[in-house]
């Protein structure tokens, strides 16, 4: 990872998205062209400040690229901000797999170094000190990338969803900075070396966090003047459940199985498909979304996708969601009123907290057959409210207070 220096080839194609030269140092930007009609209003500009519309307020939106949860939340916030402030322009900073989701959602993305994945075997996390060692290397590589490729004069603010390297660089340059986090403190360590490493990391980040202008926390957080607690943030659904089921040709009751954006969810895909086959449920089909890092072969009654940029629509259209307990997938299921089974990877403390809040744990993977029948019998649930409006307003207040916008007077 230390040798990563960013893509340098002129004009490539990555998974159907055009890459074009941009800015200093030969940086490349994944363009979302052509845009779906409903996304054109949310298009950010992949240009330097000199060629943007003169009345735009441009900034970076960095996204932690481990999995897709941070990317889905960032897309929801960016859309909400653009709806309220059409003059805002974002250039996303993200590595794969988050890059693909953001570009497919109608935004331009500057290709950044990817964050390391969790070391796991059979759905069980291995000692996380190894991940922290890789993450430390990632921070060094990302720091060099940002100092070479970043155009901090043209992009006057930073919003970051879980991406730390960009926050450190923005704070160093005294660029107005807002950050969205699940929690300000990590708690993954199980063994002594991992606890020592994690403790040092938490101490280092706590010092950095106090210098950030605004932190939006999805979970409990310290009572600091720059921290605000917000509710679930989800992407809006593109249609009614009936219309989406018609569009997706869902004729039967549908079980949606999603493994997230990492490779750790393979254990759940295998267990869910096995339980479905053993159940022999009449009038029920299964849709498996393996994510960008795994593949899954289709079989009778089991339909497979690798990557879906509009997964929230499939969540609404389905009758049951089975997930690795990622926060954003759970939040989308709750907002849709779709019953959910959340089986966390063992040792993934954040996912285990998410699952425990719904009454699940890793060992429930062995009783999926019974859980599937039980949850399908529930029917639809009352949709739960989201925190999108509050989070967007807090970010707008931050921008109004900290960022000088062309053609706008600071209040």
CATH number of 241-376: 3.40.50.2000
Alpha-carbon distance of 231 to 327, in angstroms, equals 12
Residue spans per domain, the chain: 12-233+388-402, 241-376
* Whether 65 contacts 115, CB under 8 Å: yes
Residue 91 has what pLDDT? 97
Query: Helices (H), strands (E): how many in the chain?
Result: 12, 17
Secondary structure element (H or E) that encloses residue 110, with its range: strand 109-111
The stretch 164-184 carries a mean pLDDT of 96
Between these two residues, 298 and 35, which has the higher pLDDT value?
298
Alpha-carbon distance of 369 to 271, in angstroms, equals 9
pLDDT exceeds cutoff 60 at 30 = no
pTM comes to 0.84
Give me the residue label for tokens 């759940």.
268
pLDDT, tens digit (0-9, with 9 covering 90-100), for 211-258: 999 999 998 888 999 999 999 999 999 999 999 999 999 999 999 999
Residue 365 has what pLDDT? 95
C-alpha angle 203/217/357, rounded to 5°?
105
Output DSSP code: residue 216.
E
Burial of 379 per CB tally in 10 Å (0-12, 13-18, 19+): exposed
Residue 3 has what pLDDT? 34
Domain 12-233+388-402 and domain 241-376, same fold? Reply is: yes
* Whether 119 contacts 142, CB under 8 Å: no
Topology at the third CATH level for domain 12-233+388-402: Rossmann fold (3.40.50)
* Residue 48's pLDDT band (cuts 50, 70, 90): very low
Residue 98 has what pLDDT? 92
What is the per-residue burial (b if ≥16 Cβ within 10 Å, else e) of 145-157? bbeebbbbebbbb
Secondary structure element (H or E) that encloses residue 131, with its range: helix 129-149
Mean pLDDT value across the chain: 85
Alpha-carbon distance of 239 to 324, in angstroms, equals 26
* Residue 72's pLDDT band (cuts 50, 70, 90): very high
Alpha helices in 252-317 (DSSP H): 266-279, 311-317
SS3 at position 73: helix
pLDDT exceeds cutoff 90 at 186 = no
The stretch 64-82 carries a mean pLDDT of 94
Alpha-carbon distance of 103 to 80, in angstroms, equals 17
């Amino acid at each position: 990872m230390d040798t990563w220096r960013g893509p340098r080839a002129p004009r490539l194609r990555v998974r159907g998205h055009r890459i074009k030269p941009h800015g200093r140092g030969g940086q490349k930007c994944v363009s979302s062209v052509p845009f779906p009609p409903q996304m054109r209003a949310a298009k950010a500009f992949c240009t330097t400040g000199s060629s943007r519309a003169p009345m735009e307020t441009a900034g970076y939106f960095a996204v932690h690229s481990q999995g897709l949860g941070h990317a889905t939340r960032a897309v929801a916030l960016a859309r909400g901000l653009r709806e309220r402030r059409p003059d805002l322009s974002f250039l996303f900073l993200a590595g794969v797999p988050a890059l693909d989701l953001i570009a497919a959602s109608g935004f331009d993305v500057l290709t950044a170094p990817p964050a390391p994945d969790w070391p796991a075997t059979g759905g069980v996390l291995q000692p996380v000190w190894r991940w922290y060692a890789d993450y430390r290397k990632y921070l060094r590589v990302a720091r060099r990338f940002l100092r070479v490729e970043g155009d901090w004069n043209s992009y006057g603010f930073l919003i970051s969803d879980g991406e730390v390297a960009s926050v450190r660089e923005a704070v160093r340059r005294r660029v107005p900075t807002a950050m969205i986090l699940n929690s300000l403190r990590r708690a993954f360590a199980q063994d002594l070396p991992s606890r020592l490493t994690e403790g040092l990391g938490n101490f280092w980040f706590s010092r950095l966090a106090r210098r950030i202008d605004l932190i939006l926390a999805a979970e409990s957080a310290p009572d600091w003047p720059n921290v605000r607690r917000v509710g679930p943030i989800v992407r809006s659904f593109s249609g009614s459940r009936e219309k989406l089921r018609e569009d997706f040709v869902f004729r039967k009751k549908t079980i949606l199985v999603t493994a997230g954006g990492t490779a750790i969810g393979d254990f759940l895909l295998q267990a869910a498909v096995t339980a479905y086959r053993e159940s022999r449920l009449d009038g029920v089909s299964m849709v498996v979304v393996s994510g960008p890092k795994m593949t899954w072969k289709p079989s009778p009654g089991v339909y497979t996708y690798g990557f879906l940029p509009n997964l929230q629509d499939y969540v609404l259209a389905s009758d049951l969601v089975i997930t690795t307990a990622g926060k954003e997938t759970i939040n989308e299921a709750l907002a849709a009123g779709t019953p959910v089974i959340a089986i966390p990877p063992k040792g993934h403390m954040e996912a285990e907290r998410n699952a425990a809040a719904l009454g699940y744990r890793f060992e429930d993977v062995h009783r999926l057959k019974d859980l599937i029948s039980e949850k399908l019998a529930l029917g639809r649930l009352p949709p739960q409210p989201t925190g999108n409006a509050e989070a967007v307003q807090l970010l707008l207040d931050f921008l109004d207070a900290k960022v000088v916008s062309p053609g706008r007077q600071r209040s």
